Amino acid sequence: MLNLRSLAPPDMSAAMQQAGVDVTPEEADALAALSAGSVGDAIRLSLNEGPALYGAIISLLDSLPRLDRARALKLAEAATARGAEDRVNTIFSLLDLALIRLARSGATGQMPLPAAAPREAEVFARLAPDARRARAWAEIGQEIAARTRHGRAVNLDPAALDPRYDD
């Protein structure tokens, strides 16, 4: 087994350019964070608008506790557009990652570096200022992940995973 460290943003940018994918320095920072330094994952995220989708998720989290329903619907529409199977997978993965990063930042008191979206640090500091809230976010993340896995296992429409419709 050969253990390698994750690529730093400048190295990620160079690797992406070698692969024929042009990214801005800001996108390279976001892709390095979102892909844990994996060039293959970064390319997949880049092709599926990963940094923009993650930014939309952080923006939704920033609107809490009064969820911006218009932004949420816009993200849902992006996921359900024709030919968006890869995009919905990306959105679910990025939501899971955002909640993991949120819980980890609250539990450790440190923001994961590099930042993957504008205002991410401020949003995380507000939503998970301590270990108690970090634990709550971790539990929310587990619940969402379980509902997502279940919905996919039975091939449900993603809208059917909304807990408001439980009996």
| Residue 3 in domain | no
Residue 9 lies in a domain: no
Q: Answer yes or no: is 5 within a domain.
A: no
Higher pLDDT, 82 or 72: 72
Nearest residue to 26 via CA among 123, 116, 119 = 116
In a domain, 151, yes or no: yes
DSSP secondary structure string for all residues of 26-92 = HHHHHHHHHTTT-HHHHHHHHHTTHHHHHHHHHHHHHTTTS--HHHHHHHHHHHHSTT-HHHHHHHH
- Percent of the chain past pLDDT 90, that is, above it, reads 50
Residue 70 lies in a domain: yes
Domain holding 125, by residue range, is 16-160
135: buried, middle or exposed (CB in 10 Å: 19+, 13-18, 0-12)? middle
Query: Do 45 and 51 touch, CB atoms closer than 8 A?
Result: yes
Structural domains in the chain (count): 1
Does residue 7 lie within any of the structural domains? no
* pLDDT (tens digit per residue) in 83-101: 677 788 899 999 999 999 9
6 assigned to some structural domain: no
The pTM of the full predicted model, rounded to 2 decimals, is 0.85
The model's pLDDT over 13-51, given as tens digits with 9 standing for 90+, comes to: 888 889 888 888 888 889 989 998 889 999 999 988 999
